[in-house]
Structures are given as structure tokens and as C-alpha cells.
Copies of this chain bind each other. A is one copy, B any other.
Amino acid sequence: MPEKEGALKRIAGNIEGYSYGEDSVPRSTVSIGDLTNLKISAGFTDEDERYLRIAGEVLADQTEKIVAHWRAGIIASIPHLARHSRTTEGQALPDYLAKSNLRFQQWILDTCLRPYDQDWIDYQQEIGLRHTSLKKNKVDGVRSTPCVPLPDVIAFVAVMNETIKPYLSARGHSAADVERMHFAWCKSIQMQLALWIGPYGQAGDRNPERTSQ
């Protein structure tokens, strides 16, 4: 583990395919200056950053439950979303799902606890790429759907935002503090979404008008 990472920042010692901050992650053309503007557009302030840190502490030991809620509890019963973790013939890929779930867990903590610096920007691009035909399946060497259509990614954000809230209140914070944590979370996800669309443009498979393909 690189020295700059704190103990709280990893949900497991080894997360296969997780390459945050590594040289293998391509540099994004989005600069810190662009991110500053994006923060302003999203109303993301230092206070939001502070509340995200609190959220990170609250969520740190709940990430497994949250991702199980999203993946097994919701996505698994939606065929047009579940197929992205299966073979193109619809067979289960439990190993792929398990690895991707670990990264999904880590993403929750990264959202809350990482500094939003160039590494963070670069990894947003990487996350975007891994949902497009340019990089989906490649990290895990699987044969699944070529990409996750962008409209579904955008729409599913609403589900994550809604369902995360009870987990934010699980440590007895006041309703007002939970609300602040939640708005900070929502702003961050919206900024991330704004960064994920770049790779879809690169890949040319944004597939904007169809939720199925």
C-alpha cells in the first residue's frame, strides 16, 4: 500500500483490478482548474468535503452491505442491468462480480475520503472507461456486455443516492447532519458523472438514446 494512503481508505489489502493512483491509469486532460469550475457548478464547497469525510467514517464498515444491497438487492432483479455482470449468453460470472463488487465498495470510500486531486480526476476517467467498450471486461479478462449504456449509469445514480441515505444515518447523527452528508454525496456523484461522460465520448458508444442494446 503506497504510503500516502491511510488505513481507512481501503476495504481490503488486495483489491484486484483496483489501480487508483498507479502509473497504469491514463492521465486525464481534465485539469484541477476544470475541476474547480465543476465544483462551483455543482455547488460543492469545503463544507461538503468535510461532511463527506464524516460520511466516509459512517460508511466505512457498511460498504459490503451497501454494495450487496445495490447489486444483489436491486441490479440482480433488473435484467437490462444485471446482464452487464454476466456472459453475453446470460451466464453468471461470480468471480467477475466478486472482484467488481470489491472495487464498488472501495469506490464508496474513495468518494468520501480521497482528496479530489489529479489522481482522483484520472481515476474518474478510468472508471468511465471501464464502463465503455474501450475497457469494460478487460481488467478482469471476461466476455460480458461490451459496455454499460450511459443513460442507465445516469439513471442508476438516482437509486444509489436514494438508498445510501439510511446507511448515512446508521451511526446516530442528527437528521440535519445526515442531510448535509447526503447532499455532499449527491454533489460528488454528479461531478463524477460529469467526468465519466468524457470516456463515453472517446469510446463512441455512449448509446445515448437507448437503454437497451
Listed in ascending order, the chain A residues whose CB lies under 8 Å from chain B are 28-30, 34, 37-38, 40-44, 74, 78, 80-81, 150-152, 154-159, 161-162, 175, 183, 186-187, 190-191, 193-195, 197-198, 200-201, 206, 208-212
- The distance from the CB of A85 to the nearest CB of chain B, in whole angstroms, is 15
Q: Is the CB of B211 within 8 A of A151?
A: no
Instruction: For A157, list chain B residues within 8 Å (CB).
Output: 190
Instruction: For A150, list chain B residues within 8 Å (CB).
Output: 194, 197
In the complex, 26 of the A-B residue pairs with CB atoms within 8 angstroms, ordered by the A residue number, are A28-B209, A34-B210, A34-B211, A34-B212, A37-B80, A38-B155, A41-B80, A41-B81, A41-B155, A41-B156, A41-B159, A42-B155, A42-B159, A43-B159, A43-B162, A150-B197, A151-B197, A154-B190, A155-B191, A158-B191, A186-B186, A197-B206, A198-B208, A198-B209, A200-B208, A201-B206
- With contacts A80-B37, A81-B41 known, is A186 near B209, CB below 8 A? no
A44 vs B161: C-alpha distance when bound (angstroms): 13
Q: With A41-B78, A157-B190, A158-B183 given, can you name 7 additional A-B contacts, CB distance below 8 Å?
A: A29-B209, A34-B210, A38-B152, A40-B80, A41-B152, A43-B162, A162-B183
